[in-house]
Chains A and B, each alone.
Chain A
Amino acid sequence: MLAALVAFLVAFAIAPLPTAEAITIYVSNEKDNTISIIDGDTLEVVETVPVGRRPRGIGFSADNRQLYICASDDDTVQVLDLETLTVVGEIPSGPDPEVFVLHPDGRILYIANEDDNLVTVVDIEERTVLAEIPVGVEPEGLAISPDGRWLVNTSETTNMAHFIDTETMEIVSNVLVDARPRYAQFNHDGRYLWVSSEVGGTVSVIDAATREIVKVIGFSIPGISREGIQPVGVRLTSDGRWAFVALGPANRVAVIDARTYEVEDYLLVGQRVWQLAFSPDESLLFTTNGRSNDVSVIDVGRLKVTKSITVGRFPWGVAVRP
């Protein structure tokens, strides 16, 4: 008994602590029209920057010096200079931009226009629209394969993942998934695409070559109704070990073994967890919790939520800068 107790205490004393690195976390606050900036060492909000109306999807330029912000109600993508923290320009986006992805070459931005059933392709440097690709109704999630060849867009009402050839800018195939596909994410080698279905309550794993669904992952949490589980943001570790899925009003992030597709755990975070972002070394995962107005920090090594940080109202997008 005593020996077991001692072993138990020692095992804890030597448990590894997360490594600290100088990172900065940016969070878009949909209701406050601001970006909250969190210091990665202290995990405290150090600055709040006013931006355009209803900021949602955010992401960095290829050189990490600028933050692109979907200002949905201003019908534009703003460019925030991260040195001066001022908006230095706008990228034409078409109406109501919600999310975008950056081509791996850093020159082209693909933007989903929810109201117009379009994906707008923009040359960042020239600030010109290269193409408008008609897709299904209410386009939402966007993902680009690591080699930049395939763009995937999910349309919420059509319930499809559209595979778009980035050279011809045309849809080459459609994969039907469960209701209201919200978010798409390729795995590290681009062989599989993960798509979350908000209303369907599932995550579909699609073989990117055959465009066939290889696995549909369901969720069940004791004490929470099926309707309360609404998968949104998805993130995969680059070692192929874990997948994390934000489950919206279930207030939890599902931890999935990416090799077996088994759900291993549900981590309690704030209310209506929406989007996710890793730190560059993937030791930490940040979640935006829309209804409780905070960002939860998950220790990826220990699979534990370590802290929740209050930000502005309705945090939506999150991006971590090295």
Chain B
Amino acid sequence: MTATHYYRCFLGIVSREALRFVHQRERFVAALVRPLVWLLVFAAGFRAALGLSIIPPYETYVTFEVYIIPGLIGMIQLFNGMQSSLSMVYDREMGSMRTLLVSPLPRWYLLMCKLLAGAFVSILQVYAFLLIAYFFGIEMPPLGYLTLFPALVVSGLMLGGLGMLLSSVIKQLENFAGIMNFVIFPMFFLSSALYPLWKMKESSLLLYQICLANPFTHAVETIRFALYGQVNFLSLLITVGVLALFVGLAIYGYNPARGMMSRKTVTTG
């Protein structure tokens, strides 16, 4: 195994993921419409609700539309993570995953390639979303569009890792919709995506603590601070830690000797 092999494999996986992204136009449109509906419909209704207090990283009052941008970016990446895990379950059911897994390259490497490819696709979606939001008059600080990038890589990998972990546990495609509802909705609503946590704390301390324990909150906060050229070290650390945990468990789950895949192999033949 030389570096060339690794590189060729990486290119193969990324280009397959990119092709899937290009060919599934509906998926791309859906990925953009979802946050845009939140931004243009939901946020418009709550326009006057915010702007009451200044919390870091903001230096002045922001409208609700501006506040929920990082949350919606997180939403795009969360859905993308789920989507790519869905495609993994699908690949496994259809048998095309076996082509991938017979590769002599180590399995953890294949999974990492897959993860990176998914994160790459989610980042494309995020920038397309920001571009559209910009034309609706919702602007971020100019340099924020650049400083956002590393945060997107970390949060994209973390949420992709979550999807991969789920796909290693879920046996069948049919189960997936239920699990997704269980994961996506609580993760999104019990986070700082839609409302600042101090507001949550005012109404319920317990909910506030749940939000704080939600890794999605920290992905969103990492993104939020990055958009303003700042680093929220605590959130970044938690996001990276959770990323390592999810990916570690996913690699374990896909290990033919131990995890979910071995049982799968036994049952299918």
Contact = CB atoms under 8 A, between A and B. Distances in A.
Interface of A: 1, 4-5, 8-9, 12-13, 15, 222-224, 251, 268-270, 294, 296-297, 304-308
B128 interface: yes
A222 B44 CA distance: 9
A223 B47 contact: yes
B61 interface: yes
B61 A224 contact: no
20 contacts: A5-B127, A5-B128, A5-B131, A8-B134, A9-B145, A13-B142, A13-B146, A223-B47, A223-B48, A251-B61, A268-B60, A268-B62, A270-B61, A297-B60, A304-B139, A305-B61, A306-B60, A308-B54, A308-B59, A308-B60
Please tell me the size bucket of the interface on B: 10 to 19
Interface string B49-63: 001001000011111
B122 to A, nearest CB: 15
B128 A1 contact: yes
A222 B47 contact: yes
A161 to B, nearest CB: 32
A307 B54 CA distance: 10
Given A1-B128, A268-B62, A15 B47 contact: no
B143 interface: yes
Nearest to A294: B54
Contacts of B61: 251, 268-270, 296, 305, 308
Contacts of A305: 60-61
A36 to B, nearest CB: 17
What does DSSP make chain A's interface, helix, strand, loop or mixed?
mixed
Given A223-B47, A223-B48, A268-B63, 11 more contacts: A5-B128, A8-B131, A8-B134, A8-B145, A9-B145, A12-B145, A269-B61, A270-B61, A294-B54, A305-B60, A308-B60
Given A5-B127, A5-B131, A8-B134, A307 B59 contact: yes
A269 B60 contact: yes
Nearest to A12: B142
A270 B60 CA distance: 8
A9 B54 CA distance: 27
Contacts of B47: 222-223
Interface string B223-258: 000000000000000000000000000000000000
Interface in B44-86: 44, 47-48, 51, 54, 59-63
Interface in B30-49: 44, 47-48
B60 A12 contact: no
A269 B59 CA distance: 11
Q: Which 9 A-B pairs have the closest CB atoms?
A: A12-B142, A308-B60, A307-B59, A223-B47, A15-B142, A223-B48, A305-B60, A268-B61, A307-B60
B128 A13 contact: no
Contacts of B51: 251, 268
A4 B131 contact: yes
B228 to A, nearest CB: 11
A24 B60 CA distance: 20
B143 A13 contact: yes
B145 A296 contact: no
Given A5-B131, A8-B131, A8-B134, A306 B59 contact: yes
Interface centre among B61, B134, B142, B146 (most CB of A within 10 A): B61
A219 B194 CA distance: 29
Contacts of A224: 48
- Determine which residue in B48, B63, B142 has the highest number of CB atoms from chain A within 10 A of its CB, and name it: B142
Interface string B185-211: 000000000000000000000000000
A209 to B, nearest CB: 39
A15 B140 CA distance: 13
A224 B47 CA distance: 10
Contacts of B59: 306-308
Contacts of A222: 44, 47
Interface string B103-143: 00000000000000000000000011001001000010011
Looking at A9, A294, A297, the one whose CB has the most chain B CB atoms below 10 A away is A9
A15 B62 CA distance: 21
A294 B60 CA distance: 10
Contacts of B60: 268-269, 296-297, 305-308
Nearest to A307: B59
B229 to A, nearest CB: 12
A9 B146 contact: yes
A304 B128 CA distance: 23
Contacts of B143: 12-13
Contacts of A5: 127-128, 131
A20 B59 CA distance: 18
Nearest to B144: A12
